[in-house]
A and B are shown apart, each in its own frame.
Chain A
Amino acid sequence: MRPPRALESGSFRFAILLAAVFALGAAALLTVVERSVGRYATEAAADGVTTEVAILSDEDRAAGRAATVQAIARRERASREHQLRYLLVDTRGRALAGGLPPGLARLGWRDVTLANPDRHESDDPRTVSLMALGTRLADGAILVVASDTVEIEELRGGLLRSTTAFGVGITVLVLVGGFTVGSIFLRRLERVNQSVERIMAGRFTERLPPIGMSPEFDHLSANLNRMLDRIEVLMDGLRQVSTDIAHDLRTPLTRLRQQLEDLKANAPGAAFETQVDGALAQTDRILTIFRALMRIGALEAGAGPRRLVAVDLSEMMERVHRAYLPVAEDGERRLIADIAPAVTVSGDAELLTQAVTNLVENALLHTPRGAEVVIGLARRGSGAAITVADDGLGVPEHERDKVLRRFYRLDSARASPGSGLGLALVAAVATLHQATLTLSDNRPGLRVELFIPARKPS
C-alpha cells in the first residue's frame, strides 16, 4: 500500500477548503469596505463642494460680483493641488472667473472628465475626473464648483490592493499551515500504519502507538488496541485449542505406535503382522495430519520466516518437476514444466518447496486420468509468479476461498486420499512470504498462482 502524501491528506484538503472560504470572505469584505469608504469619501467631497457653493453665493449676494471674482481667484490659488476648481459665467455665457472651461456652466451635479490643465510633466495624469455642482446666482450668472475625485479613486485603489494582498497572504498561510499540520498528522499516522502492518505480518503482541494531536485520535487508537487485545485473546484460544489437541494427542499416539512396533517384533505370524502393519499405517496417517496441523499452526502464529535466504525458484521447480515426472506418468497424467531460468526470491526454501509440491500433488491427485498439469515459473515485475494449472474438473468459484481452509474438501475429492490440509499449508506459506495465492478458472480446470513479491534477504 502506497503511503499517502501530505498533499493528498485530509488536513491539506481541509486547508484548501479553508483557504477558499478565506478568499471568498476577503473578497466580500473588500467589496463592502470599498463601497462604504467610497460612499463616505464621495459624500465628504460633495459636502465640500456644496459648502463652497453656499459660501460663494453668500459672498456674491453680500459683497457684489467683483468681490466674488476675487474670492474665486484667491481660492483657486490657495486650493491645494487644485482639489477644488471654479467657474463663474455671466448670463451671456462669458467666463468671469475660474479655471474650468465655460462649457461646464450647467446647473446641478455632474461628473466630468477634463484634460488635465495642470499637466506639466509626463508622469502627471492626462485627465482629471471632477464632481461639479452648478448654481444660478441672483442675477442669473452661473457658479460652478468642482472637486477632484482622484483622491477617492486612489483611496479605493489602495483599499483594493491591500485587501487583495491580505487575501492572498492569508490563503498562502492557510495552505502552508494545512500542509504542515497534514504532514505532522501523516507522520503520526504513518507510525500507526507501520505498527498495523507489523501486526498483520504476525507480531500480534504489538500495539498501536497513540496518534496524538487530539484526545479523539488517542481515544481511537486506544479503542483499536482494545480490539487487538480481544482479537489476540480469541486467536490465542483458537490456536491453543488446535495445537493442544495436536500436541496432546500426539504423545499417546506416539506411544501407541511404539507399542504396535514392539508387538510386531515379538509376535510371529504373517497374518498378525499384516494387521499390526495396518494399525501402524493408520497411526502414521493420524500423526501425519497432526504434524501438518501443528506446522500450519506454527506458521500462522509465526512472525514471518526467520531464515530468509535467496531461494533459486528455477532450480527448486525443476527439482519438483523431475521428482514428480514418474509419479505423473504412473498416474497417467502429463506433467509439463514451463520454468523461466534463474528466478530468485528471498524466502524460506523448504516451505516454498513444500508449498509447490502440495500444489503439484493436488493437481495430479484431483484430476482425471489423461489430464495435463502445467507447472510454471515466470518473473513478474520484481517478484516471481509460480503457477500450477490443470485441465481437470476445477474448483467452483464459490468454493475457491473455502478450499484454503483446514480440512475443507470438495465433495468430488472425498473419495481420493488426502487430509484437506495441503492448500491450507500453501496459504499459510503464502501469508508468511507476503505472497498472493490466487485460484482461478483454467477453462477447464484449476489454475493456482502464487505470486511472491521481491524482498531483501535478511
Chain B
Amino acid sequence: MKILLLEDDVASRAHVERLLRAAGHVVDGCASGPDAIFLATSQSYDVLVLDRMVPGVDGLATLKAVRAAGVRTAALFLTAMDDVDDRVEGLESGADDYLVKPFAGAELLARVAALGRRPPIAEETTRLVVADLQLDLLKRTVTRAGRRIELQQQEYKLLEYLARHAGEIVTRTMLLEQVWSFHFDPGTNLIESHMSRLRAKVDRGFDRELIHTVRGAGYRLDATA
C-alpha cells in the first residue's frame, strides 16, 4: 500500500516509516501540513497517517483541507492527546480511525491494513466464508464444516469482526473498540477470556485451527497456519 505520513518529530517519523516499510508499504513522509496537503491532493494514496499536533497547519486542519479538495482516502490520526473530545473531534473532521501515541507498531500496522483494505462503498454482504467456516449475517448463524455452532451474542460479534477482517491482524484495542465500544484500555485482559470461549466453540474438535494468536499484536482469523 502507498501511505502518506505526516509527522513533525524526526525520530518518530523515522520509526513509523521504518515500521511501515518493513511491512511492505511504500511511505511518503513529510513534516508539515502544507506539504501533506500538496502530496495528498496531487498523488494517490491508500491511507493517510497524520499526526494531529504539528506546528503551523495541524493534522486536523490538514485533513479538513484534503477532504475539502475531494480526496476520500482513508485517514488515521496519530495523537498524543487522548481526551474523549479530541477523538470525537478528529473523527468528525473526516478521520476514519484514531490512534493515541505511544502505540505499539503492530497496532498501527493492523489499523493501516484495515483502513487500506476497507471497501470503498459498503457492500451488501450477507455471508462471510473463511475456509469451512460460514457466517450468515442475516440469520446471525454460524456453521463450520456444515455443523451448526451456537454462539452467544458477544461471541458472534467477535467472530463476525474477525471474519470481516479475515487474513488480517486484529489487535485487542480494535476489538475493544469495535465489539464492546470500549475506547480505553481496561486493566484486565477481557479479550483473552472471550477469545478462549470462542475458540472452544469454533476450533475445538476440528482438525485445523482458524483463530490464531499473533504474539505481541493480536488475533487473526484465516485458513493458513
- In the bound complex, what is the Cα–Cα distance between A438 and B67 (angstroms)? 48
Bits for B98-126, please: 1 = Cβ < 8 Å to A, else 0. 00111011000000000000000000000
Instruction: Check: A178 CB closer than 8 A to any chain B CB.
Output: no
The listed residue (A250, A294, A330, A365) touching B193 by CB distance below 8 A is A330
Interface residues of B, CB < 8 Å — how many? 34
Q: Do B101 and A326 touch across chains, with their CB atoms under 8 A apart?
A: no
Are the C-beta atoms of B84 and A261 separated by less than 8 Å?
Answer: no
Whether A322 sits at the interface, judged by CB under 8 Å, is: yes
Within 8 A of B (CB), among A234-271: 250, 253-255, 257-258, 261-262, 265
Contact check, B193 vs A254: say whether CB atoms are below 8 A apart. no
Q: Nearest Cβ in chain B — how far from A246, in angstroms? A: 11
Q: Are A365 and B15 in contact (CB under 8 A)?
A: no
Chain A contacts to B: CB under 8 angstroms: 250, 253-255, 257-258, 261-262, 265, 277, 280, 284, 287-288, 291, 294-295, 298, 306-307, 319, 322-324, 326-327, 329-330, 348, 350-351, 353-354, 357-358, 361, 364-365, 417-418, 422
Are A354 and B154 in touch, CB under 8 angstroms?
Answer: no
Q: CA–CA, A253 to B18, complex, Å?
A: 19
Residue B132 interfacial (CB < 8 Å) = no
12 contacting pairs across A/B (C-beta < 8 A):
A255-B11, A255-B12, A265-B22, A291-B82, A295-B82, A306-B85, A324-B188, A329-B193, A330-B196, A361-B188, A364-B188, A365-B188
Q: Which residue of A lies closest to B18 (CB)?
A: A262
Choose one: B102, B180, B193; the contact of A258 (CB below 8 Å): B102
A350 with B190: CB separation less than 8 A: no
- The one of A254, A298, A319, A364 in contact with B83, judged by C-beta atoms closer than 8 angstroms, is A298
A-B CB pair tally, cutoff 8 Å: 84
Q: How far is the CA of A361 from the CA of B181 in the complex (A)?
A: 17
Give residues of chain B (83-99) contacting chain A, Cβ–Cβ below 8 Å.
83-85, 88
A149 to B114 Cα, complex, angstroms:
115
Query: Are B84 and A357 neighbours in the complex by a CB distance under 8 Å?
Result: no
Interface flag for B70 (CB, 8 Å)? no
Contacts of A298 in B (CB 8 A): 83
B84 touches A307 (CB 8 A): yes
Q: How far is the CA of A365 from the CA of B85 in the complex (A)?
A: 30
> Judging by beta carbons under 8 Å apart, are A327 and B193 in contact?
yes
B161 to chain A, nearest CB (A): 14
Expressed in whole angstroms, the Cα–Cα distance for A418 and B80 within the complex equals 23
Evaluate contact between A323 and B180: CB separation under 8 angstroms. yes
B: residues with CB less than 8 A from A are 11-12, 15, 18-19, 22, 80, 82-85, 88, 100-102, 104-105, 153-154, 180-188, 190, 193-194, 196-197, 216
Contact: B182 with A250, CB < 8 Å?
A: no
9 nearest A-B residue pairs (beta carbon): A326-B193, A254-B102, A258-B15, A327-B193, A350-B84, A327-B190, A354-B184, A261-B105, A330-B193
Residues of A within 8 A of B194 (CB): 323, 326
Q: Please name all residues of chain B whose beta carbon is closer than 8 Å to the beta carbon of A257 when the two chains form the complex.
A: 102
Cβ-neighbour of B84 out of A265, A280, A348, A417 (below 8 A): A348
- Do B15 and A261 touch across chains, with their CB atoms under 8 A apart? yes
Q: A322-B153, A323-B154, A329-B193 are in contact. Are A361 and B187 (CB under 8 A)?
A: yes
Give the residues in chain B near A295, CB-CB below 8 Å: 82-83
Q: Quote the shortest CB–CB distance from B104 to chain A (angstroms).
A: 7
For B15, the closest partner residue in chain A by CB is A258
Q: Is the CB of A417 within 8 A of B187?
A: yes
Q: Are B185 and A353 in contact (CB under 8 A)?
A: no
Asked if A288 and B185 make an inter-chain contact with CB atoms under 8 angstroms apart, the answer reads yes
Which residues in A have their C-beta under 8 angstroms from that of B100? 291
Cα distance, A348 to B101, chains bound together (Å)? 23
Interchain CB contact under 8 A, B80 and A323? no
- Please measure, in the bound complex, the distance between the C-alpha atom of A361 and the C-alpha atom of B196, giving whole angstroms: 19
Give the distance to chain B from A284, nearest Cβ to Cβ, in Å: 8
Kindly identify which residue among B22, B101, B187 contacts A254, using a CB–CB cutoff of 8 Å.
B101
A257-B102, A361-B188 given; name 11 further pairs at CB < 8 Å. Answer: A258-B15, A261-B104, A287-B102, A294-B82, A295-B83, A306-B85, A307-B84, A307-B85, A323-B180, A323-B194, A350-B184
Contact present for B154 and A250 (CB under 8 Å): no
**The residue from A261, A284, A307, A329 contacting B19, defined by CB atoms under 8 A apart:** A261
Interface centre among A258, A291, A306, A319 (most CB of B within 10 A): A258
